[in-house]
Structures are given as structure tokens and as C-alpha cells.
Chain A
């Protein structure tokens, strides 16, 4: 009943397992004497929960505070994580990482030691600890908070040790390579062939299946990047127009920033295509054939091409990072913002403003994509940040399929992981300066959609929270590498059980992989089956599920010859472009790096007087039934409290349970009762017991 009401992601009562000998035995009186032996026992006991290669650095008994109920247990620091192990709680072999008690070292954003009433010392890596802490507060960068009060009575040295160990381990953990050699026990257990729960898009079969599912008939899978020699940040396979040869692709891509040429992101069943590409590499000097190849790839068989300047009206990476830092500071429990000034402080972070601009832009683009047949090309210089964000949002708005659990995970896998979003750099794991949580911004946008359309999504807020928290958990390769190339190259070293991609990159026969690569989508690594059940949105209306959504297949209007109309979408307005590529005849435009036309000078006043309407030949086509148009007005963009205010338990407490789930429980209980009494039940009994495993691994 209390979903997340206690400041946790989930509200499942800690398992009250029978007390085990390791922790409950010794009483305080005996403690000092038994410390040695106890430590031994404890060590061996704790080791049970450790992953191979993980080492316990220090531990101390304590009580977890701030959340109800207060839990006695042990605070443990290893070379991977800080974990609070409640007394009597046994780490399940099934879920080697706990979503509730674990704080991965890289996730620690701030550390505070408290002694006495007022002595708070901020611990920076390397700063000395001058007193024995009575209490320690760990602020996660994912907005979680762990507050542990150490036990008194002769154990102060341990409290000191564990605190120092955390500080040291935290300092050393900035290198992601730290985790090399640690492997997940789950992988060792799995025997026999196992299909990943979500297609990882590492084989051409995956791409082919996905292409067929989207019905992109005029596209094909190109293996031109199989050896990552076109671009290391691109996946090994991607979709290009059917008529374009691989050699043309290779040459054309050379004229784009970092070799990221135009590829299909999504094919709308109505006939439009959504493409993404990097900025034009203006220093290159393409010949006529190359230009023709680039143009035909951008045009993709459509007569209308709309180039979308992705970064226009969106925040820069630095803006996003700054806003996220400010938001984190504001959401800390001791944030200095007064209650009556809270809203303007929130506005001051500009985070919600950025969420708004993303939603607004995505909403505009999805109208462009769905209203008629055309090719919409998202162009961002790097093509690795906001292109992914916008293209995923557009798909969420336009395709009911993407709003299912499986569909959303595939979407993230395709548009973020496979498309080479530099997770490691952006989430600050490497400590590099280009940190910017674009992915978390995306998750916030999705949460806003979830709030606005509670019946349209198969997944719940808790699924988004789980994904949010997983971004910094170093258990799988999904979010731990910057490029698909690194992921492929290092997967062997990271996890000895997984297949090693050797030179030659021979195609592994599908279904024959003995130990498939683990991904973030293997939720059972970190979440219990009860938690996974909560990933489902009980309010999801099956009427909106993809089965009942029949796309009207519109006839394809194809025009031979050069593109007849090319537009640039920028500042919420369409302006005509004379040409697609910047190189052709006007050398003056080459000077403009990625933008080849001066921006239309439209002030907000003149926008007001404009007629709202699409050009007549695009027609007033009714918007497809599956399209969501999100609200993005000030009052409609809200703060994701369950995520950002987790560190402030007083705000979290009493968040009322979504009552629909209570009803669902009642319903299944009644059905259960009835089933017991009657051997056969009416056919309209549609609440089959859900098996958590089928949720994430539904057949493709």
C-alpha cells in the first residue's frame, strides 16, 4: 500500500528472515572480547553477499535512521559499494545488488560525519577526519540518502575506520576500470542458452527484426560499420535507404562530424521517417557523387525533407549539468531555501524549464512526423545527446508500442545505448569535465508524460526510478561505456563469462551464445520479483495497447528527382532551405559551422500574429489516435518528487498510495477466492497471475 512512501524507491517491507548466527548472537557485554571472532564470522558471512572479486574494506555496526522503521544492522564498505546490511537480512543470491541498501561508490555525491549535536563536517576525498563520528550521512547522486548512526560501546574505532574507508574508496573509485575483475554471480549461475530480455541490437538479426516490426520497407540493415571502422561511436549495424550502397554509405558518412551520417531512427506507419545524423563536416570537400549520396540518404525517398536543428532552443550540455547540480543542492534535506521561496528556487535551477523545452520541441516534431509523409532529420553536431533524447521522446509520443515495457526498453537500447550516447562521460563516472545528465533529463521528460497520461504507459513511475538508479550501478555494460565499440571490445575483460569479440568479429550464431552478455535490462540482478511486479502501471488501459492501434497505412507519395521542398525547422518555425547540404555552390555558407543559414529573426511578439496552420498541400489530416500531445505550460511541468526528494523523508512520508493498485489487490484476492470454490471460472477472468520474469522477457 505504501509505494515508495518511506523515501525508498519501493515499499516492500524488509524481509524478516530468521536471525542468523553471525550477527544476532553476541550481546554488547561480550562485544569487546568477541570482537576478533565476531569479525571473522561476520567477514565470512558478509562475504556470502559479495560478488567475486569484491573485497570488504571495513565495517561497523549501526542503525539506519531517517526512514521508518529504524533498522539495526551493519555498515559495510567494499571496493565496489557502501552497503547497509540490516540485521537478519540475507542478500539473495538472485539479486546480488540491492536497490535499497547499496550505495555504489561512484554514486556517493556527498558524505557527512556527525558528532554531537551540531558538528557536521563535510568530507571531501582526502580531507582528514578529526573526530569519531556518531552518525554518517551519505548523499547519493541519485538523490537517495543513507543515514546511519553508529553504535556506541567500544566500537568507535570501527566507526572511524569505516568512515575513512569510504572516503578512500570513494576517491579511488572514479576510474571505471576499478570494477574490472568483479563479476556478477548471476552470470555464473545461468546455464544454457539465454536470450537477453531486450534485444541488445548487437547482431544484424536484431536490427532486421526491428526493421520488419516497424514496417520500414524501403530501408535495409547496413553492416558497413561491422568493424567499427566508419565510426566507433556508431553501432555495428544501422538502417540506411535500400537503394544506397554500402560504399556510398561509407563515403557519405565521412562528410559528417565523427562519421555519424544520416540513419533511420523510426519509421512511422503512416509513411514518414525519422532520421538522425551528426553535423556536416564542413572542412571536407565532397565531390558531386558524394553530395548526391548524402542528399538521397537525407531525402530517403520523400519529397519533403525537414531538417531539425536539434540544439536550437534546447539547453547546452553545460546548462543541463548546472541545472542538475542546482537541483541536487535544492533537494538536499538541509537546503537553505525557505519554504515560501521554494518555488522560485526551483525555478532558479531551470531544470523544469529544460524539461519543458524538450517536451515542447518533441511535441512539435511528432506533429511533423505523424501529420504527413515526409522525412524528418534530427541534426545535432555530435548526434549523441539531444538527438537521442528527441528521437526517443518523439517515438514515445507517436508510437503506442514504445510505451510498453518491452518497447520502452528497446527504445532506450536503440536510441541511447546502441546509438552511442556517452553514458560514462555524461554521468560523470570518469570524472571528465563533460558531465551532463542528458539521460536523466530524458527520464524526467518521460515521467512528465507518465503524469499527464496515466493510462497510456505500460510501465510505472517505479520502473523509471529503477532505470534512474541503475544509471550509476556498475553491474552491466549498458551504461558503463561511452561507445558501442568500447562495449564490444571490453565486454570480455569485464565479465569473463561473456563472449569476447575478437578480431574478425565473426558473427556469433544467434541462440548459441552460452553466456550472453548481461544488460541493465536483467532486472533480477538488482530487484526482487515483488519489485519487478511494481514496474507495471496498474492504470494502463489495454485499449491503448498496440494491438488495438491500427495504423492507417497511407499511400506513399514518392517523387522522382531532386527534393522538391526542403525546410529547416528551428525556433518553432519552418523556413525554406535552398539545398540540403551546405557544400554545393555557395562557399560563404561553409563558414557557418553546423548551421548553414542565419536563424530567422522571429521575436515572440511576431509569433503571436502568425497564422497557425500547416501548408495546404500537407493537408489538415486528423492526428492519429495514438499520438500524445503533452502539456508543457508552467503549471503542468512538475517536480519528480519521488525521485528528487528522496533525501528528504519528511516530504516523502505520507505520499498516498496509488489507490488503483489497492483495488487490483482486492480484485485478485477475490478472484483467488472464487477460483478456489469453482473449478472453472468465467472466461472474462483477465487477471492472470503475472510472473515477473515474463514482464521483461516477453517474446519478441
Chain B
């Protein structure tokens, strides 16, 4: 039934006239269809997923060919995703399908992942929203993970165009109610699927025990206590059910302002100094109330300024640091560099690449975050001071900086489980408003600020600069950033633990993967990809000697002295923040751009070599151990890890596009001027095979 067929293109077929729209007439499609082996492409629906609308004979343009070619197929919209059916998936090698994403196919876009939709009317591109009077001949979808899709609707039936376009616009652009999130349909449909991975030890921080464990781990339990005063969210909806405060703090203080204005413990340093955060008290006009606030704060400060507490340095993040507005503006400029409609556009920006990049100031924002985190680290580490982060709600830059400081100072946070626990502790329990910041409900564009992505980008800089210090790789971070828009995990779809509690528990829903959610790693790719996500080398690096207990009194000295010493990958880790050192997270931002593909290149090229060597090391190690214990327990051969003779591309494991045959790199305008094709064909006949002369 599907109008499917590969059109245009190959060297042998008649060269098409260059034009912006498809030159193919439906008759031609028909002839091609006969040649293609008919293969039913079925729509895979998740439990609870419903088909909403569909349209057939939609042309999906192949981006790399300057919109000249495409594949015909069916475009469908469900309550979970927009999907294009038509790609012949059997064409992929086994090696590639092995690394296919389990949930999201190459041509799937989750509704939450849609960023902007454009329509092309008479070769003019306009953003689409609301009710349409006229329907476009072409639909362009920009995704939040920076994919760009072009769908031609010229040969689609008019009613189908109307249905699919308005369907897509409605389901992606219109404001939505929380309870209409796909999350809930999925959760109720897939309830029995709550298998938990026993190996996953991510601490969820949803019990008092978890907080006590963390206090013990960081030896913060001397001066800080875990409290359950907010159990059942009786005190405040912005607070988690359990959290940690300074031991002498009376519980009624917590109740005073619904948890505002009290120092909440984030983490304790090895020297006993702690990182604390505090949300600001409500702004009051009334003098009397202000007086109350003032005396309340005085009381609080008295508590934490007294021994045994160290001197407190207050970092007010709302007044003299980045604003959310800055971040939003920078990112929206930055992402435009990667949302490419066609190749020409890309080449045009290419020459000015660095200045365009710089003018977005996204990298500078990353630098400022890293710098602030180093400053905080310096206070904690070198000056033995407590640091109190102050922010309006303590749930944006507070989360970012406190988790960044912990990644830098606490090697536990650089393991995969530790990092997931950190995200759980600082971001989920810290009440970062994922729902608003990701604009999942499409209620306010103003609230949409990629704070979490900024954090991941900062961590990426660290991973990139010090790969052996981390248990995970950049691929892990990329996958994590993608799961922000995947509404089968509950992790990133609520504004606070309270909101999640009332929506999940009161409706008696339990989500699959609830216990392992912050990273979808295990469930997301098939097992084999594990090696790409786990840093193979992170643990192997032997400990170096470090003696960094010197007291320095300012940032520069601290920074320079750290960098002049050999790096202890199991200790304090500082990033470089000089101009040339802050880089573009190429894997995340460039992975869908065909021109950026390096066939047989990139990091993946050395991966198989690395795995082979690791295998061999392990094998030999076993042999030696055997010899040591002189007992010949035969060990099973380690399974081959990544055995693939194929040359993988640098975009692996994300985009699967590869130039299997000769993709001409050469724009050859001149050919057509050479005369008609018959002539060339004749000439070919004249070729005489003289063999080797």
C-alpha cells in the first residue's frame, strides 16, 4: 500500500534538472516501485501508544543531496511520536542495526523533541502555528536534538495533508495539560514491565536512608542531619520529602517560610567544609514582614556562623552571575549554527564559523560556569570555607554549580552510578523545573532554558579534557541529553518531586524503569553499545601521587598551581578554561549533519583496536593469575566486544547514514554543458580495451 520507491539520483539514471522541489512525477514513482521489492514497513507502537493521523505518498528528502532526492513513504503522528515509514531498513548492515536505538528509530521524532515547524509555501519558508488557512507543499521539522527533517507533501492527497499538518502542529505546538503526557498512558499500559536492574545502584534520594548514606559517605554527618519534616510534602511543595540541614537548625525554622531561607546541605568536602544552598525568601513590601524576615535570617546566619561551622561565603547567583535570559539567548543563537536546512546554508556559514560561534557566546557561558565552579572549589578546598549558594528558587544555577563542583571534587561523581545519583540528588530532588525548562507542555516559551544541557556541556568539557578521570564517555552524556525528550522515563518530566508524587502515586501509577531512570543507558541501546558508553579506561589509570594541600589565596594561583601538577584522576579535577580549551561538543551538535561525517574516522576508529587490546590484556592477566594460583580453572573466552570489519563513520552510533557507493564530492556543473548524453554514451562504446600496455 505504501507509495515507496527510491527516486532520482544514481549515476545511471537520467540527470534531473536542478530545482528546489521534486521533479519526479507520480508516474515515475510507479515505475520505480515495480523494481523495488515490496516490503511492508510496519509502525511499531509502544504500549499505550495510539495512532492519531497519517498521510501517504510523503516524500522525505535526503538532506545531503541538496533536496534533490528523497524517499516516498507514509508519515504518521501518534501521541508519542512523528514517524516516517518508508526507509528500507533491511539495507542496513547487521553491524549497524546492532547499535540501533531501541525506542526511537532513525525517522522517529518524539513530540517533545520537536522544536520548530516550518512550512514552505511557494518556495518561501514560514514558521507554522495555530490554525492554518493554507497548507504547505513542504514541511520542515527542526528537532531539539538538532535533527532537521524535510517532508514533501506535493503528491499527498489534500485531506491527508490537512490532517497530518494540523495534527502535527496541534500535538507539538499547542499547550498541553500535564495529565495528557504520553508518560501516563505508557505507564498504565506497561505497568507490569517494571523490571529493575539489580546491578544498578543509582541512589534515588527518595528515602531518609539514602540521605544518611550520602552524609556518611562524605563524612558530613558530624555537623549535618537528614530531616523528614517534609514527609508527605506537608511543609513545602518545592522541597523534597527528605533533605539535610545543619544539625542545630530547629525544625520549626524549616516550616517558617515553606523551606525558603534555610541552608540546605548539598555536599561535604574531605576537610569538613560544606556546599550549601538556599532559596530566597519571598519579596515583601511590608516593613513589618521584612523585619520578620530579617530577624529570621539573622538567626539562621548565627547558627551557621558559629563553630563548629567554618566561615561562610555567600554566592548570590541571582544578582551577579548569569541570568537565565542570557543562557536562553545564547543557546537559541548557538543551535541555529547546527540546524541546517540544506548544504549550501552550511557552506555559507562555514567561513565565518569561529566568529559566529563566538557571537552566540554559548562557549563563553560554559567558561563562566566552569570558572565559577572553580572559584567555589577554591573556597572549599583551599580556604576551608563553607559556600552558600543563593538563588531565587535554588533550582537552576544552584543545581548546575553544586553538581559541577561535586563532579570536580568528588571522584565518586565521575563514575556512572555516582553521576546518576548526583543528577538525582541535585536536579531531581533539588527541584529543577524540567517540565518548564524543557517546555514539555508548550505553555511558555519564556521559561524554556536549557540549564540541564548547559550542565551536561560543562561536564562534557571536563570529560573531553580528562577522559581517564571518568567512568563514562561523551556518548553517555549525549544519550542522557536525548532522554530529556523521551516521555517514557519519568525522570525529566516533572517540576518537583512533589509534582511527580501527586501525579504518579495518587493515580497509583508506577513507571517502568522508575528505579533506574535517570540514565536510560541499559534500556536504551542494546547491550553491545555498552562499551561506547562506559569509559573503558577510566578505571585502569593507576593512581598518581598528589600533594595539593597548599593554601593559596586566590583563584589564579589555585588554578595555576593545580594545573602545574600531575593530574590525580581520583582526586580534585579542574578544567582548563583558556580560550582554545572550551570546545564544541561535536558529537551532540554535529551528529546529524551528513557533511560532518568522516567515514572510517573519528574516535570510533580506534575503538576496536582498544577493545582488542583490552581483551588481550585481560586474557593475559587471567593466564598470569592462573599461574599464580596454580589451579587451572579454565576461563571462558571473553565474548568478542566490538567485532566489525566495516569502517564505521565518525557519527556512529547515532546517524546511520553512510555513503556506501560513490557519493560524488564534486559539484560538477560543467558536465551538463558537455553536450547531450547520447554523445557520451557513444564515446563510451568507442573505448577499446587494450589491456596493459
Contacts and interface: CB of A to CB of B under 8 A. Distances in A.
A455 B610 CA distance: 11
Interface string B644-667: 010100100000000111111111
Given A611-B15, A612-B667, A631-B601, A455 B609 contact: yes
Contacts of B19: 609
Contacts of B677: 616
Interface in A662-676: 662-664, 666-667, 670-671, 673-674
B468 A659 contact: yes
A620 B687 contact: no
B665 A364 contact: yes
B580 interface: yes
Interface string A614-656: 1111011111010011110111100101000100101101101
B580 A614 contact: no
Contacts of A364: 665-666
B133 interface: no
A564 B683 contact: yes
A572 B18 CA distance: 17
Interface residues of A, number: 99
B595 to A, nearest CB: 6
A303 B685 CA distance: 13
Given A364-B666, A452-B650, A622-B661, A654 B466 contact: yes
**Residue in B20, B358, B364, B590 with the greatest tally of chain A CB atoms within 10 Å:** B358
Given A342-B580, A659-B537, A631 B609 contact: no
B343 A639 contact: no
A657 B503 CA distance: 49
Given A344-B354, A347-B354, A555-B689, A634 B601 contact: no
Contacts of A455: 600, 605-606, 609
A447 interface: no
Contacts of B650: 452, 631
A606 B563 CA distance: 51
Contact of A634 (B349, B361, B608): B349
Contacts of A21: none
A143 to B, nearest CB: 13
Interface in B426-463: none
B62 to A, nearest CB: 11
Contact of B668 (A565, A573, A666): A573
B598 A666 contact: no
Interface in A498-544: 539-541, 543
**Residue in A303, A574, A674 with the greatest tally of chain B CB atoms within 10 Å:** A574
A671 B467 contact: no
Interface stretch (A230-238, A287-295, A333-341, A467-475): A333-341
A619 B596 contact: no
**Residue in B466, B586, B589, B671 with the greatest tally of chain A CB atoms within 10 Å:** B671
Contacts of A574: 666, 668-671
B576 A651 contact: yes
A340 B669 contact: no
A600 interface: yes
Interface string A597-617: 000101011111111111111
Given A556-B693, A606-B669, A342 B600 contact: no
B599 interface: yes
Contacts, number: 291
Contacts of A656: 465-468, 567
Contacts of A612: 65-66, 68, 663-664, 666-668
B301 interface: no
Interface in B591-622: 593, 595-603, 605-606, 608-610, 613-614, 616-617, 620-621
Nearest to A367: B665
A646 B626 CA distance: 47
Interface in B1-33: 10-12, 15-16, 18-20
Contact of A340 (B66, B367, B662, B684): B367
A261 interface: no
Interface string A534-561: 0000011101000000000001111110
Interface string B286-317: 00000000000000000000000000000000
Contacts of B355: 343-344, 347
B552 to A, nearest CB: 15
A285 interface: no
Contacts of A567: 670
A575 B668 CA distance: 8
Nearest to A567: B670
A339 B670 contact: no
Nearest to B537: A659
A673 B603 CA distance: 31
A576 B691 contact: no
A217 B689 contact: no
A635 B671 CA distance: 31
A664 B613 contact: yes
Given A619-B11, A629-B665, A605 B18 contact: no
Contact of B363 (A338, A343, A615): A343
A302 to B, nearest CB: 11
Contact of B624 (A540, A629, A674): A674
A2 interface: yes
Interface in A465-488: none
Contacts of A611: 15-16, 18, 68, 668, 672
A628 B649 CA distance: 11
A556 B586 CA distance: 43
B321 to A, nearest CB: 16
A575 B667 CA distance: 11
B665 A636 contact: no
Contacts of B578: 339, 342, 648, 650-651
A609 B609 contact: no
B514 to A, nearest CB: 36
A653 B563 contact: yes
A670 B620 contact: yes
B180 interface: no
Nearest to A605: B344
A86 to B, nearest CB: 19
Contact of A660 (B18, B610, B684): B610
Contacts of B668: 573-574, 610-615
A572 B10 contact: no
A600 B670 contact: yes
A260 B324 CA distance: 64
A559 B686 contact: yes
B65 A454 contact: no
27 contacts: A2-B566, A217-B693, A341-B579, A343-B579, A345-B579, A455-B600, A539-B606, A541-B609, A555-B691, A556-B689, A556-B693, A604-B347, A607-B667, A608-B342, A612-B66, A612-B68, A614-B664, A615-B671, A631-B595, A631-B596, A631-B601, A634-B351, A645-B580, A660-B609, A660-B610, A666-B617, A674-B620
Leading 9 A-B pairs by shortest Cβ distance? A342-B579, A634-B353, A620-B11, A608-B344, A347-B354, A455-B605, A539-B606, A609-B18, A670-B620
Given A613-B671, A631-B596, A663-B614, 19 more contacts: A337-B579, A344-B354, A363-B665, A556-B689, A556-B692, A564-B683, A573-B668, A574-B670, A608-B344, A609-B66, A612-B666, A617-B681, A659-B537, A660-B606, A662-B541, A663-B540, A663-B610, A664-B613, A670-B624
Interface of B: 10-12, 15-16, 18-20, 65-66, 68, 342-344, 346-355, 357-358, 361, 363-364, 367, 465-468, 537, 540-541, 560, 563-567, 576-581, 584, 586, 589-590, 593, 595-603, 605-606, 608-610, 613-614, 616-617, 620-621, 623-624, 627, 645, 647, 650, 659-674, 677, 680-681, 683-684, 686-693
Interface of A: 2, 68, 217-218, 301, 303, 337-347, 352-353, 363-364, 367-368, 371, 452-456, 539-541, 543, 555-560, 564-565, 567, 572-576, 600, 602, 604-617, 619-623, 625, 628-631, 633-636, 639, 641, 645, 648, 650-651, 653-654, 656-657, 659-660, 662-664, 666-667, 670-671, 673-674, 677
